[in-house]
Amino acid sequence: MQTALLAWYAENRRDLPWRHTRDPYAILVSEVMLQQTQAGRVVPRYLAWLERWPTATALAEAPTAEVLREWQGLGYNRRALSLQRAAHEVAANGWPKDLTTLPGVGPYTAAAVQCFSLGRPVLPVDVNVRRVLERTGATFDPTCAQALMDLGATICIARVPRCGACPLAEECPSRGRRYEALRRQSPFEGSFRQRRAAALRALLRGARPDDEEAVAALAEDGLVRLEEGVVSLPD
């Protein structure tokens, strides 16, 4: 299966900008941006981000308010805050041996940076990779990481996999199966997440948010400062 997968990938790989670098900072930026966001939406934002802040030191020295402004539209603003906090630590102390000690870096993101940048023999398992592994029951080594991600994103998709186009179909025990829809995240429209996002956007454009509950939640996450009833952006 591994041979068939790599042959397929050689012909069908997605040309994504973070696949043209081994800079751990650039890989970290891409992985944080890609959390719950489609690659097509991430590409222009990733390129603009690295043009503005090409190194961890540059991001660490940036005003947090500007970081949050640049992040708008990618969702989950805490990711931007964690990314800048991680940049602070890297700029001050270098890359730690255990990447999960960096703010906002969990086991998957750590594995991705290790595999794609540092050349360590670890297979990062995101939702797409996990789907292929579970359906095929096969074992793949870390050289297959990007191929597994592309196969899961474009062929071995969640509900109705495209088995007719799959290079692994001949030996796959799940060939031809259909799957129930996964439980979807609660709608953004009308949610508290939307209220939080609206409050932060108002502050970023210089207005005063009128949603005290949302502002309090943003302050608890460190996304805004709230002192004696006065709300402001972090430094």
Whether residue 200 is predicted with pLDDT greater than 90 in this model: the reply is: no
Whether residue 16 is predicted with pLDDT greater than 70 in this model: the reply is: yes
pTM higher than 0.85 for the full model? yes
Whether residue 38 is predicted with pLDDT greater than 80 in this model: the reply is: yes
Percent of the chain with pLDDT over 90: 70
Half-sphere exposure of 121 (CA within 13 A, CB side): 2
- Residue 203: which pLDDT band, with cuts at 50, 70 and 90? confident
What mean pLDDT is reported for the chain?
Answer: 92
- The separation between CA 47 and the C-alpha centre of its own chain, rounded to angstroms, equals 14
For 134, residues 6+ apart whose C-beta sits below 8 A from its C-beta are none
Whether residue 181 is predicted with pLDDT greater than 80 in this model: the reply is: no
Q: What is the pLDDT of residues 39-80, one digit of tens each?
A: 999 999 999 999 999 999 999 999 999 999 999 989 889 999
- Residue 196: which pLDDT band, with cuts at 50, 70 and 90? confident
| The pair of three-digit structure tokens given for residue 29, joined into one six-digit string | 């930026």
How many whole angstroms separate alpha carbon 147 and alpha carbon 8? 8
How many whole angstroms separate alpha carbon 24 and alpha carbon 102? 13
3-state helix, strand, coil in the chain (%, to 5): 55, 5, 40
Q: Which of 31, 66, 171, 213 is catalytic?
A: 31
Residue 45, helix vs strand vs coil: helix
Answer yes or no: 228 catalytic.
Answer: no
Question: Environment class of residue 156 by beta-carbon count within 10 Å: exposed (0-12), middle (13-18) or buried (19+)?
Answer: buried
Q: What is the pLDDT of residues 113-167, one digit of tens each?
A: 999 998 899 999 999 999 999 999 999 999 999 999 999 999 999 989 999 999 9
Structural domains of the chain, ranges and CATH numbers in brackets: 1-13+123-184 (1.10.1670.10), 23-116 (1.10.340.30), 192-232 (no CATH)
How many whole angstroms separate alpha carbon 10 and alpha carbon 21? 18
